Structures are given as C-alpha cells and as structure tokens.
Structure 1
Amino acid sequence: MLMHFPPQLPDRMERFYVQYIEDWALCNGLCMRDIDNSHAVHAPVTMFPTPFSKSGFEEALRIQCAFNELYFHAATHEEWLLGHLEEAAKHDDFTAKLIQIHKAAKAGQTQRLTGGLWRSDYIVNGSRTSLEGRQVKQVEFNTVSVSFGALASKVADMHEFLSHASRSWTGHGEVPRNTALKDLARGLANMHAGYKVAEIQHRQATHQTSTSAIEDEDDASIMDDPVVLFIVQPDETNVMDQRLIEFELVKEHDIVSYRISLAEVPDFVVRTNDNRLLHNPSGREIAVVYYRAGYAPSDYPTDVEWNAREMLESSHAVNCPSTLTQLAGAKKIQQVLTDRSVLTKIAPSLSSDTVDRLMKTFVKIYPMDDSPEGEQGRYYALREPDHFVLKPQREGGGNNIYGEDIPEFLQSIPTESWAAYILMELIEPPKITNRILRAGKLQSGRVVNELGVFGTVMWDRDHNELLMNEQAGWLLRTKLQDSHEGGVAAGFGCLDSIQLMGPLKDDN
C-alpha cells in the first residue's frame, strides 16, 4: 500500500514546480553535462524530498565514524586483506592488477600519510507500512571515487527553497541540511595540511634544527603553494559535482586544484629525483592525488593508464585513496566483515556496543567459492535466487545480476570464476511513490531510495594511527522500482533529499 505521498498538484502548479527546479538547478550548479558533453543540463532530481525514517537516518549518520574506523583497520591489515582477495584475483583481472600495482609501488613509497573520502550506502528495510522503526541495512561500502556529495548538498537546498516558494506544498517533515560539499572539501584540505606538516617536520629533522626549515624562501614558496590533483575520466559528464569541490577548496581553504585523466599524467605530472610530484606547466608541488576515476577496468584501456597509476601510487603525494585502500572496498571484504568474529579481530578498538550497532546494519552475504559458506551461497544462487543479488568486485553502476537472472548468468561463465562474486540478500524497501524530473520530463511511480553517508579519513601508515575520522554529510539517490541499478552517473537513478518522518498513514 502506498503512502500519502507525493502531493497531487494541479497541472498549472506542476508546471510551476518543473520550471522552478530547472531554473534553480542551472542557477546554482545542480547540473551535469549532457551525453555529448556539449552543454550543461539539470541533474536528474525528484520533484519532492522523499520521506525517510528519522531514526534510521540519524543512526546512519552516527555510525559512520565507526565504519570509517573499521575500514581503516581493514586497509592497514595488508596480509589479511590480500589473503582474502587472493581467490577472487585469480578470476578477476582488475582485482589482480590493482594488487600488482600496490606491490610494485610499495617499495618506492615515501609518504606515510594516506587518505580517503568514503561512503556507506543503505536502504531502509522492513515490511511495515510505517517508516519509523525500520532499520537501515548496508548495501555497500565505497572507498574510491565516491560521487555526488556536492550535488547532494544542492538538492537539499533546492527542496528547502521550494518548500518556501510554494504554498500548495510546504513539506510534511523536516528537510535536513546537507553539508557534504563543505565536509568533503575540508577532508581534502586536511590531507593537504597533513602533507605540509609532514614536510615541515621532515625538513626540520633533515636540518637538525629547532628552527623551521621553511624559513628558506624557496622552501616557503613550495610549502605555501602545493596543489591537489584530481584524477578524472575523459569527457566526464559529472564535472560540476567535482568542480564544486575544487571551487570550495579555493574559496574556503585557499587551495588550488588541477584535473587530468590517467592518460594525461605523463604530459602533466613530473616526478622529481626525491620522489615528489610537480604539476606541469605550473611547477607547483602536488600534495594530494584525489581519484574520481580509476575504479573500473574501462578507466585503464592501455598500459599508459596503469603505468600512471603506479607512478602516482609510488610517489611522495598523499593518495586518496591508495590502491590498497581501494581494494579494502571490494565486495569480498564487505562479505568477510559481516562475520562478527572477523570484525572484532580486525578492529579490536571498536567497543562491543559499537560492534552490535554495525552488525545490525548487515544483511546476509555469502561467498561464491568452494568453502562451506560458498556452497551455501551457490545453492541459493541456483535454487532460490529471487531474494538475492550477485555482485562482482566492482564499483559504478550496471555490474550487478539480480534474482532470476542469476542462474543463467552463472551457467554462462566457468564455475571457477564464481569465486570472483558474492551473493547478497536483497533488502526490502518501503513502498513510496515520487516524481522524477529527468531532461525536462517527469516520470512517476513507486521508487526505491538509497542513502549514502560520507566519511573522511586520514592515517599515518607507519604507525597505523588514525589522524582524521569524520562523518561528512549524506546523499539520497532514488530510482524507479523497476530499475535494478541506481547509479545516477550511469543513467539509472536521480538525486533526492530527505523528509525526516515518523509513522505515516497508508492509503487505507
């Protein structure tokens, strides 16, 4: 049964809303480039903010720092991490190549700091018609190229504005502020500052003096002006989401950024004899390499891209993320960490109460290898697939296999390749409708919402010391229920914001 949502508007008011959304988006940077990259269009968005469990939303925000800490531990337990990915790497060339890059770059690394902008994704789960009291269940944890934080902040602002602009609909619940843009930029700024502090300490030690080594004029110019390097995809359509972070870095932190693709690294990045990176032609030192690409095989069409990743990885810059940290976000690692005994062994610093809260967000995830748990996963995948989704070790939309399609897919690939996948229990979302505006056209129907909570982290890998651990805003993506995938950039979903709700009445 559908809830009393969204409001039913007369045609004239609906046209008013559509025009407002399109104009507000274009005026405020809630945009993407069109498919041929020729001009900007409004990002796909919902007409109204979607009702969402207040308790579920607040718990997802509260628990983000615990997830940050958990995956920090996973990324710093190198032997454990690579051991669990060994079998998947035998059948997944991309995972194997990332491991190869990590091992090749490790010997030359001189930077002790590493960082991450992460996101934990959830769907509200349960069969009750009331939203309140439902638990959020984790869909996945992303450690590389998390997107739409900047545009998500804009959507919340837009919906808040519309609630004041129209008297026909003033909202049914609080639309919470979203600080993801500011928080993510601050995370990168903290990595930038960490690089500078580490350099000051290094130079002081080298000069063996209590006086700061940056008193030298040349040193001062280097330390005052390092930059952030964005690694992006060629012909990126989601450029505004990235540019907004770049502009925020300049506006609030006086930090300049440059953006290039992996293929452009040889032309625009120079590595010095002491392993530092300089941007060409500006000559400015690169403090942080921030990846908004590099998460999928399509980002590495030739050896040029792989060689560039290895060079950046082995340099003195802070990588956000390192390849090892990227690998910590593999679906296999997510599956392993749903075992309480494994979780507590890897992250002993987490309290028992915190572990309980983490465990409540998990659904059942099975391996697809030949272990006893894998045999159970294979049984469900072939005999009872309707309640499951099959996932590879991939980021980005369009990779998952759902329900009745699973057996046919598995039978189309060698049995030994099944170990590269995990089988995850499907989450039952609330029954809600909304209206989606995409390319100026409205779509209506039952929708599924996925909440993402961002986190920013930085640690000293020489001492396994967590130096930054913050929750960094949120994202709500919405798709029509008949679409399996939810990626906005991949063309499946749209951007949304939240009305914090208690119990809602259904149609009866």
Structure 2
Amino acid sequence: MQKLVSEFAVSNGILKVVDGKPSLLSCTLLPSPVPKTLLHHAKNIQCDFNLLYHRVAMDHEFLDAILKPVVVVDPYLRSLWNIYSRIRTNQVTQDIVLGLNRSDYMLHLQEDLCNAKRQTLIHRLQSTKLAAQSDIETEDEAWNGLSIKQVEFNMIACSFCGLGQRIAPQHRIALSLHGISKDLNTRVPDCFSADRFSDALLSACRMYVEDCSRRSLVPTKVSILIVVGDNEGNIYDHRALIGCLLLKSPEVNVLYHSFNYLKTGLKLDSNFRLFVDNQEIAVVYFRTGYTPDAFPDEETWNVKYQLEQSLAIKCPCIQYMLANTKIIQAALSKPKYLSRFFQPDSASYVNILSTFVHQYTLDEEMEISDSTEIQYAVNDCLLRPDDYVLKPQREGGGNNYFGEELAQKLKSIITHSERKFYILMKRIQPYTFENYILNSSSMFEESKARKMVTEMGIFGAILAYLDTSPCLPHRVNIPFGYINCCSHCQ
C-alpha cells in the first residue's frame, strides 16, 4: 500500500531535489486528524494576522523601539535595518507591498483539563482512520480544551504554497485505497494556495503597470523575478506555483536568478525601474535571503539594497522582513502592544491574542518582559525545561533548543548580551496521533507506524499600499488553503 501511494505522490509531482536529482518529498501516508471548527477558525483569522503584520511593518516608531536592542547584537538584522534606514531616508520609491504569508499553528491541549476530557479528545484524534470513519463533529463544545496556538508567522519564502495544493488530492487517493470514501471532498478540503498566490502575484503585476501610468512611465512587457538560492532543493514547490501562474497568464515572463547572478545582471534606470536580462521587473519575489548565509559579502548586500530601492513591488519588502522576527511576535503577545494595532474590544484583538502562548525576552532593557517575569520564567524553565522552547530571533525554522539542551543554553547566555538574541516561549502541548511517513525509501520498503504531532499552516496574501493610518486601502487581503506538516515523536 505504501509503495502504491508513494508512486501516486511521485506522479503528482510531490518532489524535492536530492543530490541534483528528483526525490519524493517526505509526507504522510494519510491526512492528519484536525477538528473542522479549529481549521475554520485558523483560516478566519488569517486576514487579521495579515493586517496586523502590515500595520507593524509600517510603524517605524514601533519597529525602532522593539528592534533596537536586537540590532545591536545581530549583524544580520543590523544589515537589514541599515537598508531599511537608507530606503526610508531617501524616501521609499515603491509604495505598494505584497505579502505571501503562512501562519503556523499547533493544536494545544489545555493543561488543566480533567483526565476524562483529555482522554476523550486524545481518543477522537488518535488516528486518521478513526477520525475519517466517524461523523463530522461541528459543535464547538465537543472540542473544548483544544485550541490553536501560533508557532510562528512566516512572511518570506513560505514553503509548500505550490505543493500544498497537491497534497489534498494525494490524501484522498490514499484514503480511497484504504477503503475510506465517505464525504472525502468534505473531510479532506481543497487547498488553493498555489492558485491564490499566483493570483496575488498577477494582481501585483497589474498594480505595477497602473503605478507606472500614474508616474507617466510606459512599462514594457513586465516580468516577475524570483530570487532563489544557488543550491535550491525546493524547486518543485516553486515550479508548482509558477505553473499555476503561467496557466492563468501565459504572457507573463518569469525569471529565476540568485543574488550571485544579480551582482552583474541587474540594472536600475533613472526612474529606478528594475531590469534583469533586459526584462522590466514588476515584482521581486524572494525565496531566499532569510538567513545570514544568503549574504556572504557586502556585494550581495548591495544587490539586496538595489532591489529594495527599485520601483518593482517586493515580496516581501524590507519592512516586512524586519517585522517577521521573534521579538516582534513576543511583543504582540502582550496586550499593551497588540492594542496599538487593534482595539481591545474588537473580535480581531481577542482572536489574535488567544493564539499566543506566553513569551519572554531575557533582558529587561527590551521592554517586553519585566525583571519579575524574566526571573520567574528562567527559574521555572530550569526546573521544567520540557515545558519551554528557546528560539532565536530570526524566522526560517530550526535552531531551537528543547529539554536539557535548552537548560544548558539558557545557563550559558543569561548573564551575557547574547541573551538578547533569544525568546523563551512556553511550549505548546499538542496531541499525538498515529501515521506513516512516505519518502524515497517507502517505494521499496514499508515504514512503521509512528506517533506524530501536526503543525497546521494557513496561507494568506495581502497586497496593500504603504500607509500608517488605521483605514488602509487594500486591494487584496485574503485567507486560503492550509497544509499540515508532521513531526514524529521520539
């Protein structure tokens, strides 16, 4: 069965690059069991998160106050800030911004649940087969004690927007092969991430042309530039997205280039229009640049500056990248900061705040956690390290500390300036369920059932004007699609 489903996955293009060759992308044999009400809740608040981070990114005073202590100790963020400052000083050339975002959640079991209720919830969600064979439970009360908690909000190079759209049909095939066919289209809802991301990119191209007309410029045939790493392993995800785009609008030209190529391959004209390979670029879509190793030298940073300086619409713009840090997430988890962007009596404020776990900075100077909170969190973490996770400021996944490794790292940094580089978060307590991992090996041998936890990513797009006023004129702000990523438990 696993071999057959793996072959379907390959035929559906669920692939990655390994050693220069296509290989099956690791995915689950069956879809993850998730309560319908919680999936819908996560999708319904995506527009609020899109708008929240847009407002944060456009609030210079807030960015300056929150990021200043981190910029001092982090050379990568300092370089981003320097570009932002130069662009801001010289006045922003392009006032349209595009965000292709993904908000990641885990489903959290309330810690003070009575044992009977906890066991009932765990039983309902312990396997996909059991969930798929039971009736859809739409009553909110049935899932009391289970809530969505945000892991992170991603604003650059959101992975699997392309391949995510192919996973739902893949999982329907797998369930059918297992003899489960009841209400499959309802039980495994469609994901439209590739379609909607491509719609947003095309809308940005049209807005670029309109913007040029307002400036009395006559654009040539416009193109989309996708900036990728030199050794990109996730190229099939890119291809799935751009394939959707070209089917919708075959006249749009798409260029793939690395920062390294752009050192000599880009040109700005006197109006700051961007040209690459003699093609006018309407949108620059970054699929790299979220870690320091993407910028090995000053020449690469200069390429980044020129792209940000250009008239092309950036996805994401430099302000979005600065907003997409853990310290900003930690600040927004505090009512006093979140209320700067949403009224405390609004549904948006309540819904956003409910998704955050407790988060602590490790330095009082950062003005997010006071000395009492920090002391409590550090002491509690050293006593119960399994209840916390230590995360570096940057997005992009990985580099987190757990358990005893966390405790040792915390002890080593707490008296040094390096502590400003980290955020201490209460650990989300997800339920576990049984599933199987498909990968290149599963085409030749059966994998064993594993206990897993699921992480649910909700995609959304925002296309907006630079504006600090509360009444922002949006052209696009939509939620759509989802993807479940699983990790097996040790």
TM-score surpassing 0.5? yes
Question: What's the counterpart of residue 336 of structure 1?
Answer: 331
Structure 2 CA distance, aligned partners of 1:411 and 1:421? 13
Q: Quick one: structure 1 residues 284 and 463, their matched pair in 2 at CA, closer, same or farther if it must change by over 3 Å?
A: farther
Question: Which of 134, 147, 153 is 1:141 aligned to?
Answer: 153
Question: What's the counterpart of residue 150 of structure 1?
Answer: 162
Structure 1 CA distance, aligned partners of 2:356 and 2:459? 18
1:189 equivalent in alignment to 2:202: yes
Counting aligned pairs with the same residue, the percent is 29
| Alignment check: 8 A CA contact 1:150 1:242 kept | yes
Q: CA RMSD in A?
A: 1.9
Structure 1 runs, 4 residues or longer, greater than 6 Å off: none
**Per-residue Cα deviation, 1:372-398 (whole angstroms, up to 9, x for no partner):** 233433333434322000011122232
Question: What's the counterpart of residue 407 of structure 2?
Answer: 407
Question: What's the counterpart of residue 289 of structure 2?
Answer: 294
| Alignment check: 8 A CA contact 1:433 1:446 kept | yes
Report how many residues are paired: 443
Aligned-partner SS, 1:97: helix
Deviation, 1:352, is 1.5
Q: Quick one: structure 1 residues 182 and 321, their matched pair in 2 at CA, closer, same or farther if it must change by over 3 Å?
A: same
Question: What's the counterpart of residue 223 of structure 2?
Answer: 227
1:61 equivalent in alignment to 2:43: yes
Q: Which runs of 5+ in 1 are unaligned?
A: 1-13, 204-212, 214-218, 483-508
Question: What's the counterpart of residue 391 of structure 1?
Answer: 391
**Per-residue Cα deviation, 1:201-220 (whole angstroms, up to 9, x for no partner):** 222xxxxxxxxx7xxxxx3x
| Alignment check: 8 A CA contact 2:194 2:241 kept | yes
Q: Quick one: structure 1 residues 462 and 337, their matched pair in 2 at CA, closer, same or farther if it must change by over 3 Å?
A: closer
Alignment of 1:103-122 (within 5 A): 103-106=85-88, 107=90, 109-122=92-105
Deviation, 1:399, is 1.1
Deviation, 1:403, is 2.4
| Alignment check: 8 A CA contact 1:228 1:286 kept | yes
| Alignment check: 8 A CA contact 1:18 1:440 kept | no
Deviation, 1:47, is 0.7
Structure 1 CA distance, aligned partners of 2:432 and 2:235? 33
Q: Which runs of 5+ in 2 are unaligned?
A: 111-117, 126-142, 365-369
Structure 1 CA distance, aligned partners of 2:404 and 2:274? 50
Deviation, 1:246, is 1.5
Deviation, 1:411, is 3.3
Question: What's the counterpart of residue 5 of structure 1?
Answer: none
Question: Which of 18, 42, 49 is 2:3 aligned to?
Answer: 18
Question: What's the counterpart of residue 356 of structure 1?
Answer: 350
Deviation, 1:167, is 5.4
What's the TM-score once normalised by structure 1's chain length?
A: 0.83
Deviation, 1:437, is 1.0
Question: What's the counterpart of residue 251 of structure 1?
Answer: 247
Question: Which of 157, 165, 190 is 1:177 aligned to?
Answer: 190
Q: Quick one: structure 1 residues 305 and 108, their matched pair in 2 at CA, closer, same or farther if it must change by over 3 Å?
A: farther
Q: Quick one: structure 1 residues 72 and 248, their matched pair in 2 at CA, closer, same or farther if it must change by over 3 Å?
A: same
Structure 2 CA distance, aligned partners of 1:357 and 1:412? 36
Aligned-partner SS, 2:162: helix
Question: What's the counterpart of residue 497 of structure 1?
Answer: none
Question: What's the counterpart of residue 360 of structure 2?
Answer: 366
| Alignment check: 8 A CA contact 1:289 1:317 kept | yes
Counterpart AA for 2:257: I
**Per-residue Cα deviation, 1:132-188 (whole angstroms, up to 9, x for no partner):** 342111111111111111111111111113333x25344797111111110111111
Structure 1 CA distance, aligned partners of 2:436 and 2:225? 38
What's the TM-score once normalised by structure 2's chain length?
A: 0.86
| Alignment check: 8 A CA contact 1:389 1:400 kept | yes
Deviation, 1:113, is 0.7
**Per-residue Cα deviation, 1:463-503 (whole angstroms, up to 9, x for no partner):** 65342211131111011022xxxxxxxxxxxxxxxxxxxxx
Structure 2 CA distance, aligned partners of 1:289 and 1:114? 10
Aligned-partner SS, 1:295: coil
**Per-residue Cα deviation, 1:99-152 (whole angstroms, up to 9, x for no partner):** 112112331631111111111110001152425342111111111111111111
Question: What's the counterpart of residue 452 of structure 2?
Answer: 447
Q: Quick one: structure 1 residues 319 and 443, their matched pair in 2 at CA, closer, same or farther if it must change by over 3 Å?
A: farther
Q: Quick one: structure 1 residues 454 and 235, their matched pair in 2 at CA, closer, same or farther if it must change by over 3 Å?
A: same
**Per-residue Cα deviation, 1:34-68 (whole angstroms, up to 9, x for no partner):** 1x12x111111111111111111110011100111
